[in-house]
Chains A and B, each alone.
Chain A
Amino acid sequence: MRFRRLAVLMVLLWSLLPLLWQLYTSLRTGSALISPQPGLSGWTLDNYRQILSGDPPFWRFLLNSTVVGLASTALTLLLAIPCAYGLQRQPARTRALLSGALLAAAVFPYVLLFLALLELARRFGLANHLLALSLPYAGLSLPLAVLLLGAAFRDLPPELEESALLEGLNTWQRLRWVLLPLIAPASASTGLLVFLFSWNEYPIALTWISRQELLTLPIAIARIAGSSVYTVPYGAFAAATVLGSLPLLALVVIFQKPIVAGLTQGAVK
């Protein structure tokens, strides 16, 4: 019992201290941060004011990331649900083969693809469009999404579809009116994971977006680091971290269950 309490305390410190330090840094003036005896003075909201009044203001990056995240999630689900359903209807061999390929793609370190994706962006004029960014994001999320949704379809009792078939519903109607509502929880978990991935993605956003006002959050934050010659802008940067983390914190706290379900489903099935 006492051991557990100690362990919980350690886990809490380990997980939260670095985040709390960012919060603390964001509220301190630059000179208070480097002075050896930090004292009680030197608290400020200037760091927040500075990034919110930047050009473009910081909320713009939050908005960009939200747009990209939502578009990618929608596109992924739109493609993954029919694909997962269709996959379940294939002969066992085809299914095993495709599932294997999907697993390989899911674990593939996608950073390797950045150069060719950049060339594709040039070829098809996709650079500097937020919505276009959801194409590679959906493509990269698809393997995991199809695997997760496939597992959900497999769990449904086959009698359900058979009775729907008897009522004369065609494939599309069966999928839309019978199966889709039943896999809604799995779709939600999958969608959340895709959203998190798109929100956090770095190398492709780094190479596809070259206009400041279209940057997504991770790139914008990484660039704050080098935005000033005069000081190391740790305060402003920490403020950006805090603001950029809040939506994610909210997401994790509210949707903890489906996120965990999504993460573990692939392993269980």
Chain B
Amino acid sequence: MGLRSTLRYAALALLLVGLVCAGGLRAQRQEPVVVTALMPAPFAQATAPIVERFNRRHPGLELRVNRGPFETEAISDLAISSLLLGDSPYDLLLMDVTWTPKYVAAGWLTPLEPLLGEDALAGVVPGAREGNRFDGHLWRIPLVADMGLLYWRTDLMAAPPRSPAELMATAGALQRAGRVRWGYVWQGRQYEGLSCVFLEVLRGFGGQWLSDSGDRVELASPEAVAAASWLRQLIDQGITPRAVANFAEPEALQSFGAGDAALMRNWPYAWAELQKPGSPVRGKVGVTTMVAAAGGSPAATQGSWGFSLVSQSPHPREAALVIAALTAPEVQKDLAQRLGYTPTLSALFEDPQLVAANPVLPELRRALEATVLRPLSPLYAQLSDILQRQLSEVITGEREAAEGMERAQSLSNQVLRASGVGARS
């Protein structure tokens, strides 16, 4: 290659580099900072007008929402994939409460208190506050409160059952009288929902999942065995259909919504759906907390959704601004009014407009005071998986309750020991 052509190439290369740089500079000046959030599809849909308003008010910032699948496990797999692959396309994740410790341990989240202040959770109801702050940092700001509720048919019974025995008696009597096909439907599929259902019954019978010290699983306690046996009895006595072993929330709602069941365990979202025009049970549904036996107390599994900031995000400051804006009181009020979402801020439960629009709000408030947290551990996914599997064996009649719970306990403790978290005994 001659000198001239070398020079020509060099000039061309310089020109190209210059162009690229200029392009980069221009891009920097004009393009707004983009913050991308991953949300389950229904939340993405619900917040669409809010996001639009946010983008109008913040010209230098563009919030984009990516719709994920709704099933908790499917969206968790998706979020984990994106984080494992590095260079995450998401700055913000709308997360289930149980994921947080795992994500923190994996180093995927950024603490929020330096960006949002120490008192960012100040106005939040106790039932949505837990599970966001641990290891000395704030990791998540809840957007929507969620807790397990007992739905009952006001046209079939005067008052909802308050104890497990009462529930069986009421539901059984209604079935025998031919007034309803099934007594009680819940989530019995081998998935996270089954752990949520069980935790409520477990507390209702006075047991607990983890010991107070948090290093031992106590699922073989007499209370836990009684709780598992009760779920099994519901099926054995025909109060709950056998198909419940493959029921998630939509199937339970499908059955209850069609008027086929007297009672249902579900989350608050079901209320608005059951009140829609054309619903066969419209105006015939009440909401209350789960039943409890003598030694226990009514409990509602805490299942809130909240925002966390991904540590790979190049724009933590802007992302924090988005979190603050999307969890603001007016946004929560809007979501509650339009869609019946349960707010997380105490003040909103007394808002006269909201109470008028949603007559069950006081019941929800009461349920929020009875919330219980699933174990706050990076190993939660394993612990829950073990419990689901054993419970599924119990309710499908593969194993006796006592034996199943015994196995759940020993397998869980093995997992804790192997990781160095559990007590060595």
Q: Which residues from chain A sit less than 8 Å from chain B, CB to CB?
A: 34, 55, 118, 121-122, 125, 127-128, 206-212, 223, 225-232
Contact = CB atoms under 8 A, between A and B. Distances in A.
Cβ-closest 6 pairs across A and B: A226-B71, A210-B82, A127-B85, A223-B69, A226-B69, A232-B250
B69 A210 contact: no
B258 interface: yes
A55 B69 contact: no
Contact of A229 (B82, B86, B249): B249
Nearest to A126: B85
Nearest to A119: B84
Contact of B85 (A122, A212, A230): A122
A210 B70 contact: no
B253 interface: yes
A229 B84 contact: no
B84 A122 contact: yes
A37 to B, nearest CB: 13
A55 B70 contact: no
A228 B70 contact: yes
B254 A231 contact: yes
A121 B85 contact: yes
B42 A229 contact: yes
Contacts of B71: 225-226
A209 B81 CA distance: 8
A212 B68 contact: yes
Interface residues of B, number: 29
A118 B87 contact: no
Given A128-B89, A230-B253, 5 more contacts: A127-B82, A207-B85, A226-B74, A229-B253, A232-B250
Contact of B81 (A206, A231, A232): A206
Nearest to A207: B81
A55 B74 CA distance: 18
Main secondary structure of the interface of B (DSSP, over half): helix
B66 interface: yes
A125 B86 CA distance: 8
Contacts of A231: 250, 253-254
Interface in B233-288: 249-251, 253-254, 258, 269, 273
B67 A226 contact: no
B78 A210 contact: yes
Contacts of A209: 81
B301 to A, nearest CB: 16
B41 interface: yes
Contacts of B70: 226-229
B81 A210 contact: yes
B72 to A, nearest CB: 9
B87 A232 contact: no
A159 B68 CA distance: 60
Contact of A228 (B78, B79, B250, B251): B250
A212 B75 CA distance: 11
A210 B85 contact: yes
Contacts of B87: 125, 127
A135 to B, nearest CB: 14
B250 A118 contact: no
Nearest to A220: B69
A32 to B, nearest CB: 13
Contacts of A211: 66, 82, 89
A55 B67 contact: yes
A210 B89 contact: yes
Given A232-B250, A232-B254, A227 B81 contact: no
Given A212-B67, A229-B249, A34 B85 contact: no
A206 B78 CA distance: 8
A212 B44 CA distance: 12
B85 A228 contact: no
A34 B254 contact: yes
A101 B425 CA distance: 50
Interface in B2-19: none
A128 B67 contact: no
Given A127-B87, A128-B85, A226-B71, A232 B251 contact: yes
